[in-house]
Structure 1
Amino acid sequence: MRPPDRARDLDLRAPTVSFEATDGSPLDPASWQIELATDQSRPELQVQYLGTAPIDARLRLEVLLPAAVGEPHWLIPGLFYGANRDPGCVRIYPRYAPGPPDSASLTSDHWAFRADRAATPVVFGWTSSGGVALEVDATTSLGLSGLGFGAGRVWVSLPYREEPFSYVGRPHGVEPLAEVHRWQPGERHDVRLGLWQLAADHSYDHVLREIRARTAPPPVEPWVDLEEAAELTAYGLWKWHYRADPPVLIETALFDRELVGDLGQHGDRLAMHVAWVSGIPYAYALLRHGRRVANQEYVDAGTAVIDHITANLAPIGTFWGVWYAEHGWRQSWSPVDGGLHARTLAEATLFTVRALAAEPDHPAWRNAVVSNLEFVLSVQDAEGNFGSLYHQDSGKVLSWSGAAGLTWVATLAEAYQLLGDDRYLTAARRGATYYAGFVNDGTLCGAPEDVDLAPTSEDGYAAVISYIALHRVDPDPRWLALARTAADWMLTFRYTYDIQFEPHTLLAKYDFRTLGGDTASPSNQHLHNYGLICTTELTELAKLTGDDTYATAAVRHLRFGRQFVARHDGDFNARRGMVTERYFHTECFGPPGSILTLSHSWCVGMLLLAAEDALQLPTVDW
């Protein structure tokens, strides 16, 4: 088959195939023989080089979207969602917008990325008339693949070339990363593709389920079992992150303990959020573990941290955002003066409710819960929105944008179950109804403090937790349907394959597997284990729906998370019980195949929390 003209209006039965040089300039297609078998669910592209001298080249296969008026909608799982960035978002990372590319604002009307940035190597594009999905293996015999879209089409490139520039974690574009393959005379390659014609409704889950079922590699073999994971992380949280005066869980602890004092403010981070990246959720996990194994030191430490946080409320009656060793209690990580972040406060209150349910003889904990909930009841608007940012002194809602307030739904539902106040259930229902639009439209955003209105995997966790919590006390089919939709969106961030790291990197040497890990967000492209927060909710969703997809996802994530737990001092140059925050799986923030050489309290604490949860679910094959 000769390559068709790239300008021709082609349908799914005749994709466009072209070749380009290192810099992206076109090459004469007459030097290649191409066969594309399309009479099957996975078309096979067969390419042979007919030239007489070696040549550096890249193959590109494009499929047109159905013609329609209006802006298209894009999806690359874990990497690109619609336009990918709200115009008001202060965090700068790739965004789709008509017009010429702008490196300073990272906006462009076309984008292409290396495939290891995607949780599943497939690119979706929709118009008002319909859509297309195009899949390729993340790595083929031609190298690391690429995924792209723009100008009414989607494409794969073999190997990859990023366009129009690359995002590597900086607030601007850099020179595009790219690879080419050196073709030898007579060389031949066969590449399997996935190709789907879609309805115009932006549905994607059936495609991802098919890919997961067909391509999932063998299960990850975790380094430690559940009991050992709990034992190690409880020790690590207490040993490296707990400080007794005042009782806090410091957010980061360096692997290299000899450098801590020398590096000053760049050593251990002597700060503690009330939740999210430290604080009450992990103090609760330590307390819970301590009770189970009869370790009084752990019980005392967990109790003391919760006591310290609940005894120090902001003027408006909520928790503060962060405690700093040099400053004391302060606002959240927000550029807005005096801002307290809704998701952080809601999560801190949620886990205080859970701690209180386990140990009710703590009046200060109960008072803090009630005080936080009285505040949030007072600010919920007529539509059900809880707001996303509050002023610490006046209580004024500083931002109504995004879905950061969604976690209040879970908090109110569990508080209703514990305390029996009907107002909590009423407010939870109203909030769940308001945030349903974000879930159904796939526009969840705003959960983490540090990426503003970016879509993140954490938004999915918050939604799953909230709708399952509400369904427990109000078994309305609406809440179960929303929990399922939220879980499907959340799982777009979950890796469905194993990245092939360079053989001399740390992750390759330790045989690190990416299957089941989550990319944090399109803005923060690294793998993390925060999805362990909804381990119980995913298994519960599987039982409620009869769909094992969700339990399988929980198992895979917990297996992923039980890699790189330091089993002894010196294990991967860490100390016993430490867990890193970041696994660098692609070219962003750090070189692929490396890790961030510090332990983070939330990463240690989240694994402890999930291990304790999983130990209560012995029927699941963890």
Structure 2
Amino acid sequence: MAAEAGGPTPPALRLDVLDASGAVAGSAAVAGNMAVDELTAGPFTVEVKIGAPSATGLHEIALSVLNASPAAFTGHVRLVATVADATDPWWLIPGLFYGENRPVDCDRRFPRFEAGADDPAGMVSDHWSFRSDRAATAAAFAWGDSGGVVVATAEASPCGPAGIGFAHRGTVADVHVVFPFREDPVTYYGSGTPLPAQAATYTWQPGERIELRAAAASLPADRHAYAPILRAVYEQNRLLHPVTPWVTVPEAAEIAAEGLVRWHYDPDPGVLLETVGFDREVTGGDGRPVDRQAMHVGWVSGIPWAYALLAHGRRVGSAAAVDAATRVIDFCCANLSPSGTFWGRWERAGGWTQSWTPIRDGLHARTLGEATLFLLRALSVRAADARESWVAAARSNLDVVRGRQRADGNLGSVHHAEDGRVLSWAGASGLTWIAAFCEAATLDDDGSYLAAAVRAGEYYAQFVEREFIHGAPEDVDLAPTSEDGYAAVMAYVALHRRTGDARWLDLARRAADWMLTFRYTYNVRFTPRTPLGVYGFATRGGDQASPSNQHVHAYGLVCTGELAELSAATGDPHYRERADEALTCFRQLLATADGELNSYRGMITERYYQTECFQPKGMVLTLSHAWSAGVLLLGCEQVLGTSD
């Protein structure tokens, strides 16, 4: 049926037929005001039906594609939505592409948009097309000077896996879905060196008709207009894409805690080793040739996950868990850098050293802030028997970072380990310090920590409002990542908790919506003989790590409690539901006994390969990560009500 009179009208649409090489074999405009539009494009006759708009303005589109020629045709059908006034376009493909995607000064190479660019080897282009399973939702958004468009589809179609993408020419921005997918101008496989462009193809036999489905909408100029669209897709998919956990929340907590103590904890000197190989036989039993003999103070190891272990040990009465957690935190607190903060990382061969930043002697702000935040939470668990070294370390970290804060509120991104100079102010990695300063209420005698948090909240608000938060992980430089979303949610929920200011609540909500763009709203289809296919792993609720690291990960569990708190403060259950959904997702694929999943009980992978990046689709990384066990344990303990 046609769009209802007075209702939202569909965007300008075009149908392209591409041959196997990607060349346009035919094209036709779609008359968006007709109930049924019959087009001819190349060898195809296409019947187009555009439905009435939903509450979010999305129009369902049905394409009935008939090969009307006497010859078989191998190629693609592409539905394109257009914005005509896009001199400076903004893109969003959820979990995959954000604006320019890779800032020009980012040292990690992955796909970047630049108007008029044509540098496939450098992965800089004015047009990109991707296989749809790279995206958390198979949708492409574009905004121009006065409005935007979105076009969406499902991951799979009757002619194979779908694709999504965009192009910019002059002042025209196009977004598209394509059946089956095409990757163009190159294929990104996780390396700075791209692979040749890849594509699936389908052959329409003479007289063959294929039914395809898509959706499209016109959008207002506000870039945040993606939020109701993605929420509607999530709601639609909840029953269509079920997720069945393997174990209960208490059982998952028990398994994760055992994994931390059994596999990652080394009492000498008191560390949580970052990675442990699934296969112990090839390493001679001690694991050292494959296990990473190192510990970050926060982020991928260290204090955050020791805190989760401490909370769990206190709840279940495990002296072993409490002792292990205490020794790890003791070791970190006893070894501050000369500049007064934590070090970035401990290595067995060389002791305490800098973060993974390429800047010499650099300590990464997010890692330091996260370690301090969870140290403060550990102090709250041990309030009755607080350890003086923990209090002293917390005060030292808080004081020196507060002292380095710039007048505009920026807390710095990389700090010198020796003299404390701020070596980089770029990006938003200082966001995590906001939550740390807010957490330090019992140490904030003069209110200066809260004042620093408020100044920082004002400064970093620009990243949330621009819909481009970036810089959180040490290993991805200035790329936008899901971890930036977690940090922003934790920061602004903490500010609202401390102040009650509605501005912080609104920023927390916007940050949560942006964070959830990385969360899969559907279950990726895996071939039945891959590990993820064999076990029926459901991806809905897992997050794409980043456009640079295209794999599903569980780090979103770090703000399980904050999402629940956001729901309570806004009266909107959606955020708690999405937190529960993530915890459900990562209670799959847990080894409950040695030998399961070709691993040992308590070993938990970091990477689930839901697309062709780093490894073939359907595989898992056969390393257990301390943070993977730790963040699952944290999420479980927050749901069980034992932590903040």
Bin the TM-score by the shorter chain: over 0.9
Report what 1:37 is aligned to: 49
Secondary structure of 1:204 counterpart: helix
1:209 is the counterpart of 2:231: yes
Give the whole-Å Cα distance in 2 for the aligned partners of 1:13 and 1:411: 45
Secondary structure of 2:577 counterpart: helix
Contact kept? 2:305, 2:627, Cα under 8 Å: yes
Residue 99 of structure 2 is aligned with which of 76, 82, 87? Answer: 82
Contact kept? 2:81, 2:216, Cα under 8 Å: no
Secondary structure of 2:120 counterpart: coil
1:334 is the counterpart of 2:357: yes
Give the whole-Å Cα distance in 1 for the aligned partners of 2:475 and 2:542: 20
Residue 324 of structure 1 is aligned with which of 337, 347, 355? Answer: 347
Report what 1:581 is aligned to: 606
Give the whole-Å Cα distance in 1 for the aligned partners of 2:243 and 2:494: 30
Unaligned runs of 5+ in 2: 1-8, 27-40, 53-58
Residue 484 of structure 1 is aligned with which of 489, 509, 520? Answer: 509
Report what 2:466 is aligned to: 441
Contact kept? 1:389, 1:397, Cα under 8 Å: yes
Query: Is the alpha carbon distance of 1:390 and 1:35 closer, same or farther for their aligned partners in structure 2, counting shifts above 3 Å?
Result: same
For residues 344-400 of structure 1, the C-alpha deviation after alignment (integer angstroms, 9 at most, x for no partner) is 000000000000111132000000000001111110011110000000011110000
Give the whole-Å Cα distance in 1 for the aligned partners of 2:442 and 2:234: 37
Give the whole-Å Cα distance in 1 for the aligned partners of 2:612 and 2:326: 41
Cα offset, 1:103, TM superposition: 2.8
Cα offset, 1:416, TM superposition: 1.9
Aligned alpha-carbon RMSD (Å): 1.6
Report what 2:298 is aligned to: 275
For residues 244-299 of structure 1, the C-alpha deviation after alignment (integer angstroms, 9 at most, x for no partner) is 11110000000001123499865000100001000001111112111211111111
Secondary structure of 1:287 counterpart: helix
Equivalent residues in 2 for 1:213-252 (5 A)?
A: 213-216=235-238, 217-252=240-275
Query: Is the alpha carbon distance of 1:617 and 1:198 closer, same or farther for their aligned partners in structure 2, counting shifts above 3 Å?
Result: farther
Cα offset, 1:183, TM superposition: 1.4
Contact kept? 1:250, 1:278, Cα under 8 Å: yes
Contact kept? 2:11, 2:217, Cα under 8 Å: no
Secondary structure of 1:404 counterpart: coil
Secondary structure of 1:569 counterpart: coil
How high is the TM-score relative to the length of structure 2? 0.92
Secondary structure of 2:509 counterpart: helix
Give the whole-Å Cα distance in 1 for the aligned partners of 2:350 and 2:459: 37
Residue 258 of structure 1 is aligned with which of 268, 281, 288? Answer: 281
Report what 2:33 is aligned to: none
Residue 116 of structure 2 is aligned with which of 99, 122, 125? Answer: 99
Cα offset, 1:420, TM superposition: 4.2
Equivalent residues in 2 for 1:280-429 (5 A)?
A: 280-360=303-383, 361-417=386-442, 419-429=444-454
Report what 2:595 is aligned to: 570
Cα offset, 1:111, TM superposition: 0.5
Contact kept? 1:66, 1:130, Cα under 8 Å: no
Cα offset, 1:239, TM superposition: 0.4
Cα offset, 1:418, TM superposition: 5.3
Give the whole-Å Cα distance in 2 for the aligned partners of 1:108 and 1:265: 43
Report what 2:198 is aligned to: 177
Give the whole-Å Cα distance in 2 for the aligned partners of 1:330 and 1:261: 29
Cα offset, 1:419, TM superposition: 4.7
Secondary structure of 1:71 counterpart: coil
Report what 1:602 is aligned to: 627
Report what 2:211 is aligned to: 190
Amino acid of the residue matched to residue 23 of structure 1? S
Report what 2:584 is aligned to: 559
Amino acid of the residue matched to residue 460 of structure 2? Y
Cα offset, 1:546, TM superposition: 1.1
Contact kept? 2:129, 2:183, Cα under 8 Å: yes
Residue 69 of structure 2 is aligned with which of 22, 44, 51? Answer: 51
Query: Is the alpha carbon distance of 1:615 and 1:165 closer, same or farther for their aligned partners in structure 2, counting shifts above 3 Å?
Result: same
For residues 186-211 of structure 1, the C-alpha deviation after alignment (integer angstroms, 9 at most, x for no partner) is 22122221111011222211211222
Residue 200 of structure 1 is aligned with which of 221, 225, 236? Answer: 221
Residue 26 of structure 1 is aligned with which of 15, 24, 27? Answer: 24
Cα offset, 1:30, TM superposition: 4.3
Unaligned runs of 5+ in 1: 1-10
Contact kept? 2:95, 2:135, Cα under 8 Å: yes
Amino acid of the residue matched to residue 353 of structure 2? R
Amino acid of the residue matched to residue 609 of structure 1? L
Give the whole-Å Cα distance in 1 for the aligned partners of 2:481 and 2:367: 15
Give the whole-Å Cα distance in 2 for the aligned partners of 1:366 and 1:163: 54
Report what 2:521 is aligned to: 496
Query: Is the alpha carbon distance of 1:298 and 1:64 closer, same or farther for their aligned partners in structure 2, counting shifts above 3 Å?
Result: same
Secondary structure of 1:27 counterpart: strand
Report what 2:55 is aligned to: none
Contact kept? 1:114, 1:160, Cα under 8 Å: yes
Contact kept? 1:103, 1:172, Cα under 8 Å: no
